[in-house]
Structure 1
Amino acid sequence: MSKLNKSLMALALAGLSLVSLNAQAHKPYILASTTEVEPARDGSAWVTFDAAVAENLFTIDFTLKLDGLLITAPDGSKLEPQNVNNGKLRSTFDLNLTKPGTYKVALVNAAVMGSYKDKEGNMKRFRATEETLKKEVPADATDVKVSRQETRVETFVSTGKTDMNVFKPTGAGLEMVPVTNPTELHAGDKVTWRFLVDGKPAANQGVSLFQGGVKFRGTLGEIRQTTNDKGELTLTLPAAGQYMVSTSWPEVKRVEGQPPQMPPRRLSYSAVVEILPE
């Protein structure tokens, strides 16, 4: 296994959502069994989810822990997942959709990482949260370097009807605020998605769309667009299938022959959407 893959696996097993280092890096995802849920005869509506990390969407390479899972109902209330299972290769859970409308399932994580030299001059590395940072770094530490990584992994489902209530931005981190409901997607349609960084338009932001089934297709098939000054992009949807929307901020500048220079704050966003036939 390469050093890159080992480091990615270590992060995943620690329960962190992973930043896409390049188009073919391992990616975390939450995949719904369907994004449009038809109620049963008794009125109940259930959907099940897989959570995993994969290089070739949507195969399974290793599990994605569900720490930081937030499920928002159409009325803004928070729901708890049911029948949660953290397996060796994937995590799974069920959700009971008790009200008509659109639901958002989000896995949100923030980590603080860095290094310092202790009073003997030894280099030490640490991983913390904002709350535990002071405990991790001694007061007499020198050459302190700190980076912050914030990730958001989402998917969306609707039952009975669709609405836009769950897409109100939080104003924190990198978010997608769709103008077009992401559970109403059909091949050939034009859709508009807006991206925000800390509540402000993410202008000139590169956004990728990847279709699942890379293992069987043999090509990545990435669709790449850049947002305008309003943080928006409009695209014509490709063929039906399950897709991932992925973006990160800021763009990492690369110099040939050198490792990428990571900024002090790194944000990433991804969401799984389902495109239905025309």
Structure 2
Amino acid sequence: MKRSTLALAAALCLLPLSAVAHKQWLVPSATVVAGTDPWITIDAAVSNQLYYPDHVAMRLDSIAITAPDGSVSKPQNPATGKYRSVFDVQLAQQGTYRIANLSGGVSARWDTPESLAAAKAAKDGKAPADGAARGGFLRNATPEDLANKIPKNALNVQVTEGVGRVETFVTHGAPSAIAATGKGLELAPVTHPNDLFAGEEATFKLLVDGKPAAGLEIEIIRGGTRYRNAQDELKVTTAADGSFKVTWPDAGMYWLEASTTDARTSVPQAKQRRLMYVATLEVLPQ
């Protein structure tokens, strides 16, 4: 390995685990466009470093493109490779488009008498830990899966509902208002997301099912983490009305993430709902 490569590898080893966690993102080729028939291209990936595709491509099955008039369409010219997906969006209307990857589903995990016995034997040193029988797990399960695929002798069954939104915003011409969907965890802009400048303060709100989300911590990271040893993340917390303020230190693409849990599930078997929100925002120089 070259000396520079070894130095980079050593630097990455010193980063905290949160710094190298997988991050989902959508990055547009432009966030503000003009013209009579503008198009943009979106990169979509799940990566360790922002915004460098180095882990896995994002699936495009659940991409929703909401036009300024509220109509929803699918990606054009979609393609998925090993590390990233790409698609095009024709911005036929004047105003702001909301481009999002929506996720939702139910997961379940459980123990069995055999897995508990094996775990106890491993703990007591009577069996190798790697050889211990494990319980079961379902991902993207349906209510029918919960009824039919979880064994009758299952113990400690935990069913969780997940709702996520990964999005970005693009404006053709003059910005337009962005209406909240009232579903899950989402951003309600006060400052328009396509009107952000380095050194200026911006205000946003976080909502859960259309209501203010108080006390949520938000992590904000500028892209280009591959080329610096520190994440330089910003952390802010929402006020009682769900609002938070950010003063952007530099121009660039920023990754904004928040998550929370509650018990407002839509699946009777689920006792917990996990909510996740991610946005990519472009901050322009003064």
TM-score tier (shorter): 0.7 to 0.9
Does residue 26 (structure 1) correspond to residue 7 (structure 2)? The answer is: no
1:157 matches 2:170? yes
CA distance change for structure 1 residues 265 and 156 in 2, over 3 Å: closer, same or farther? same
**How far off is 1:120 after superposition?**
8.4
**Maintained 8 Å contact 2:261/2:272:** no
Matches within 5 A, 1:12-23: 22-23=18-19
State the alpha-carbon separation in 2 of the partners of residues 214 and 68 from structure 1.
27
Structure number having the greater helix percentage: 2
Instruction: Kindly report structure 1 stretches of 4+ aligned residues shifted beyond 4 Å.
Output: 117-122
Greater shift, 115-124 or 57-66, is seen at 115-124
User: Are the counterparts in 2 of residues 108 and 153 from structure 1 also a CA contact under 8 Å?
Assistant: yes
Letter in 2 for 1:172: K
Matched, 1:102 2:96: yes
Alignment root-mean-square deviation, CA: 2.2
Instruction: Measure the CA separation in 2 of the matches of 1:31 and 1:241.
Output: 12
Q: How far off is 1:181 after superposition? A: 0.9
Equivalent residue, structure 1, for 2:252: 241
1:169 to 169, 174, 180: 180
Counterpart Cα distance in 2 of 1:192 and 1:23: 25
5+ residue gaps, structure 1, are: 1-20, 252-262
Indicate if the aligned counterparts of 2:108 and 2:141 stay in contact, CA closer than 8 A.
Answer: no
Matches within 5 A, 1:122-271: 123-138=135-150, 140=152, 142-143=154-155, 144-164=157-177, 167-250=178-261, 264-271=272-279
Cα shift readout 1:169-215 (whole Å, capped 9, x = no counterpart): 22221111111110111112221110011222110110111000111
What is the distance in 1 between the residues matched to 2:151 and 2:83? 40
3-state SS, counterpart of residue 247 of structure 1:
strand
- TM-aligned CA deviation for residue 118 of structure 1: 6.9
Matched-pair contact (CA < 8 Å) for 2:94–2:173: yes
2:84 pairs with 1:72: no
Mapped to 2, the partners of 1:33 and 1:132 lie a distance apart of: 41
Tell me whether 1:277 sits opposite 2:266 in the alignment: no
Distance 1:138 1:206, change over 3 A: closer
User: Could you tell which deviates more after superposition, 116-125 or 148-157?
Assistant: 116-125
TM-score between the two structures when normalised by the length of structure 1: 0.81
Q: Distance in 2 between matches of 1:202 and 1:133?
A: 32
Count residues in correspondence: 242
3-state SS of paired residue (2:176): coil
Q: CA deviation at 1:155?
A: 0.3
In structure 1, the partner of 2:51 is 58
Shift of residue 233 of structure 1? Answer: 0.5
Distance 1:266 1:192, change over 3 A: same
Which protein shows a greater Rg? 2
2:225, 2:231 within 8 Å by CA — same for their partners in 1? yes
Aligned-residue identity in percent: 38
Report the secondary structure of 2:20's partner residue: coil
Q: Using the TM superposition, give the Cα deviation of residue 138 of structure 1 relative to its aligned residue in structure 2, in angstroms.
A: 4.7
Whether 1:48 and 2:41 are equivalent positions in the alignment is: yes
Instruction: Tell me if structure 2 keeps the 8 A contact 1:34–1:157.
Output: yes
Distance in 1 between residues matched to 2:281 and 2:23, nearest whole Å: 15
1:9 is aligned to: none
Distance 2:181 2:69 in 1: 15
In the alignment, structure 2 segments of 5+ residues that lack a partner are 1-16, 116-133, 263-270
CA shift, 1:132, in A, is 4.2
